[in-house]
Structure formats: C-alpha cells, structure tokens
C-alpha cells in the first residue's frame, strides 16, 4: 500500500530534486548562488532562475566568439567579469527569438519574459558582486526592459453568473462521451469554479487542498500560500452550498487511488487534480460563455479581487485575503483601475449639440 505524502511536502521534494538536476547543466560556481537565495525565494522561483541563467550561458557559447568552443563546465567566475554591457544588450536582443539547445524549438519572449530573464541575470551577477567575488557588474549599466501596463482581464458580474449557470446546467448542450464525462465531474467542477470565484485563491492553493482543510463550522479553508505559510480564507453561503454537495455527493462516492485519500479534488483517475487539469477545466467552460476573453484561474482570482475592492474599498483587506505580501501589488492591480469612472468619460464629452 502506498504511503500518502503531504501534497506541499511532496511538491517541495520534487522541486528540490529537479533543481539539483538543473544545476548539473550550469557552471559549477552557480551552486553557491542558488544555495544563497534559498531562504528568500520559493523552489519554483529558483527553478525558473536556473532555466533563465542557463539560457545566458548558452547564448555566450552560441553567439560570443570568445566562448564559441566552451563547454558549460569550463566557465569560471572570471568569465563573468569579461562580459561587457554591450554583451548584455546583445543578450537582450537574442532573447526576443532564439532556438532552444535541447530540442531546437524556436522560443520568443515578450516584455514580461524579457524582464524576468534579465531580473534573473541581474540577481545572479549581484550575488557575486556583493560578495566581492567579481569586481564588475555589467548588468547595472544596461537599462531593464520597459514593462507596459496591460488591461486586467476579468469577468463582469453578469459573466460570473452566466459562467456558473453554464457549469451547472450545460448538460442540455452536450451529448455522447462529453455528456457522460460532464455528469461524472459536474459537482466537482462547479465546486472548483465557485471556490475560485468566491475566495480568490490561487490555482496552486486549490490543488493542494485536503478534505481536512475545509471547516464548515466557520466556513473557512486552510490554504498554503507561496513560501509555505498557512492562512484561513473564509467563504460565503454560495461556496458552502456547492462544497457540501460535492463532498457529501460525488467525492464521498469515489474510492481514491492509493496515496491520494486526503485530496479534496480528484481527477477521473481518482488522483489529486493537478494545476494543468484545473486550468484546462476553467478554459473549457469559459470559452463557451466568454469566447472573447481568455479566462484562466488567475483571471478568476482577478475577478474576485476586483469585486471585493469595489464592494469594500479596502485595499488592505483585498491584499490580505489574496495573500499579497506587498499592498502596492494589490493597489497597482485593483485600486488603480476605476472602470465606472472611465465609462462616464465616454458620454461626458459632446461632439455635436442635439
């Protein structure tokens, strides 16, 4: 019989092992940097940084004549000092479109991707520069990519109602295998969609929920936030209703696969649902109701945050409930946008007299 592991512990173990394998594909001195940032970064962030920094060294081996015949193990700290600001600028240009070494796939980066990869490189250089292992830090002499603000995509109140209505009653539009699958997952899907829209929790937090994390006495769920801290997020009657229906109905009728007995949300294979599965489920329903909007679980989180701010006007409450460590992040995304006032502008200016 398989021994069930705590979801978050299992995830952290998986990330740790994955990072170890990644470090084998980087210069030997890189291990010092990743060891140093461990207390202040998540395992997922470190993995992303490892991928991003590896791209930089591949760029040097592919595009810089000095390193054309290098292997990854040949790089030394002195090589970081030999890089000039113009090399960093060429790297930024390279990132816009390059062929990945592993599988020869063409990859591109827009503003956000460029910014993340440059942040990783700056952090990498800063570590060795601060510790006086190198005397030059060329990344400080190059401007970071400019990030332009984009409109936040979320659902309007009527679209929220339409989406939940569709999830609950779309059997009349389905047939065959699609209908059979829907009937099997209806209660679960409605519970997930309502929970995401009614609490604003992250999809990763939703995936990690166990049956014991649900407290109907106080109408709260215990979620594990980024960084591993735990917090109780409270829900209203609408969420309570569908969660009870799911837990007492289809969830109780399932015999979970070994090792997945405690998971709240199970796949049709009777295993804990993954992030990708919930993302696909959300997109499947949303494209039927709002085909003009690309709705993801994160957009449902934005929808909740916007609605909560409009109802309360309390940006600190929104930050707390969403688990934002910096209230400025919340203010940037929610308080800075006042669509009601913006809509009034459409009729405020008269072009011709009646």
CATH number (domain holding residue 108) = 1.10.150.130
Residue 348 lies in a domain: no
Number of domains in the chain: 2
Say what the pLDDT of residue 348 is.
Answer: 66
Closest CA to 234 of 201, 266, 263: 201
Domain of residue 218 covers 157-338
Residue 133 lies in a domain: yes
Claim to verify: residue 189 and residue 325 sit in the same structural domain: yes
Length of the chain: 354
Show which of 141, 171, 191 is a domain's final residue.
Answer: 141
Claim to verify: residue 225 and residue 110 sit in the same structural domain: no
Say what the pLDDT of residue 1 is.
Answer: 43
Rounded to whole angstroms, the Cα distance separating 93 from 109 reads 10
Give buried/exposed letters for 141-164 (b at 16+ CB in 10 A, else e): ebeebeeeeeebebbeeebbeebb
Largest interatomic CA distance in the chain:
80
Enter the tokens of residue 329. Answer: 């992040």
Claim to verify: residue 200 and residue 319 sit in the same structural domain: yes
Claim to verify: residue 119 and residue 208 sit in the same structural domain: no
Enter the tokens of residue 345. Answer: 């502008």
Say what the pLDDT of residue 298 is.
Answer: 95
Strand 220-224 relative to strand 214-215, pairing: antiparallel
Q: What is the DSSP string of 174-208?
A: --HHHHHHHHHHHHHHHHHHHHHHHH---HHHHHT
Residue 346 lies in a domain: no
Claim to verify: residue 135 and residue 165 sit in the same structural domain: no
Rounded to whole angstroms, the Cα distance separating 135 from 217 reads 60
Claim to verify: residue 31 and residue 137 sit in the same structural domain: yes
Claim to verify: residue 83 and residue 111 sit in the same structural domain: yes
Rounded to whole angstroms, the Cα distance separating 119 from 115 reads 6
Claim to verify: residue 31 and residue 94 sit in the same structural domain: yes
Please give the span between the terminal C-alpha atoms of the chain, in angstroms, as a whole number. 79
CB 133 within 8 A of CB 77: yes
Claim to verify: residue 109 and residue 192 sit in the same structural domain: no
Provide the whole-model pTM: 0.84
Show which of 141, 170, 199 is a domain's final residue.
Answer: 141
Bridge partners, residue 221, by sequence = 214, 233
Below-70 pLDDT ranges, the chain: 1-5, 335-354
**CATH code for the domain of 166:** 1.10.443.10
**Three-state DSSP class for residue 268:** coil
Rounded to whole angstroms, the Cα distance separating 242 from 240 reads 6
Enter the tokens of residue 47. Answer: 């993995």
Residue 151 lies in a domain: no
Torsion angles phi and psi, residue 231, rounded to 5:
-155, 145
Claim to verify: residue 79 and residue 201 sit in the same structural domain: no
Instruction: Give all strands (DSSP E) within the chain, no chain letters.
Output: 97-99, 106-108, 214-215, 220-224, 230-234
Claim to verify: residue 135 and residue 175 sit in the same structural domain: no
| Sheet strands side by side (includes 214-215) | 214-215, 220-224, 230-234
Give buried/exposed letters for 318-352 (b at 16+ CB in 10 A, else e): bbebbbbeeeeebbebbeebeeeeeeeeeeeeeee
Residue 1 lies in a domain: no
Residue 343 lies in a domain: no
- Express each pLDDT in 98-148 by its tens digit: 988 878 889 899 998 999 999 999 999 999 999 999 999 999 999 988 877
Closest CA to 323 of 338, 308, 337, 310: 308
Claim to verify: residue 96 and residue 162 sit in the same structural domain: no
Show which of 85, 107, 141 is a domain's final residue.
Answer: 141
Residue 351 lies in a domain: no
Strand 97-99 relative to strand 106-108, pairing: antiparallel
Say what the pLDDT of residue 2 is.
Answer: 47
Say what the pLDDT of residue 82 is.
Answer: 94
Residue 297 lies in a domain: yes
The 10 Å Cβ neighbour count of residue 210 is 18
């Amino acid at each position: 019989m398989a021994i069930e592991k705590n979801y978050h512990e299992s995830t952290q173990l998986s990330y740790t092992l994955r990072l170890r394998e990644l470090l084998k594909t980087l210069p030997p001195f890189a291990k010092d940097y990743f060891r140093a940032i461990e207390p202040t970064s998540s395992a997922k962030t470190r993995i992303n940084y490892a991928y991003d920094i590896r791209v930089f060294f591949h760029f040097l081996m592919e595009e810089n004549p000095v390193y054309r015949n290098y292997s990854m193990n040949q790089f030394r700290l002195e090589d970081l000092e030999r890089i000039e600001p113009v090399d960093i600028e060429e790297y930024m240009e390279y990132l816009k479109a390059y062929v990945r070494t592993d599988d020869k796939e063409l990859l591109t980066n827009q503003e956000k991707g460029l910014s993340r990869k440059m942040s990783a490189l700056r952090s990498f250089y800063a570590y060795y520069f601060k510790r006086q292992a190198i005397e030059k830090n060329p990344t400080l002499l190059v401007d970071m990519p400019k990030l332009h603000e984009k409109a936040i995509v979320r659902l309007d109140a009527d679209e929220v109602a339409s989406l939940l209505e569709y999830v609950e009653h779309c059997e009349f539009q389905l047939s065959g295998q699609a209908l059979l699958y829907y009937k099997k997952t209806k209660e679960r899907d409605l519970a997930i969609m309502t929970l995401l829209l009614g609490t604003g929790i992250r999809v990763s937090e939703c995936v990690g929920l166990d049956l014991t994390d649900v407290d109907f006495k106080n109408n709260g769920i215990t979620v594990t936030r980024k960084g591993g801290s735990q917090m109780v997020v409270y829900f209203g009657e609408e969420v309570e209703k569908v969660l009870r229906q799911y837990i007492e109905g289809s969830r109780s009728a399932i015999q979970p696969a070994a090792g997945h007995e405690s998971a709240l949300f199970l796949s049709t294979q009777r295993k804990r649902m993954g992030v990708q599965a919930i993302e696909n489920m959300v997109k499947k329903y949303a494209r039927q109701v709002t085909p003009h909007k690309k709705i993801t679980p994160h957009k449902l989180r934005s929808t909740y945050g916007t609605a909560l701010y409009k109802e309360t006007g309390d940006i600190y409450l929104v930050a707390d409930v969403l688990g934002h460590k910096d209230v400025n992040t919340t203010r940037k995304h929610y308080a800075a946008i006042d669509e009601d006032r913006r809509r009034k502008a459409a009729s405020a200016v008269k072009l011709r007299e009646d």
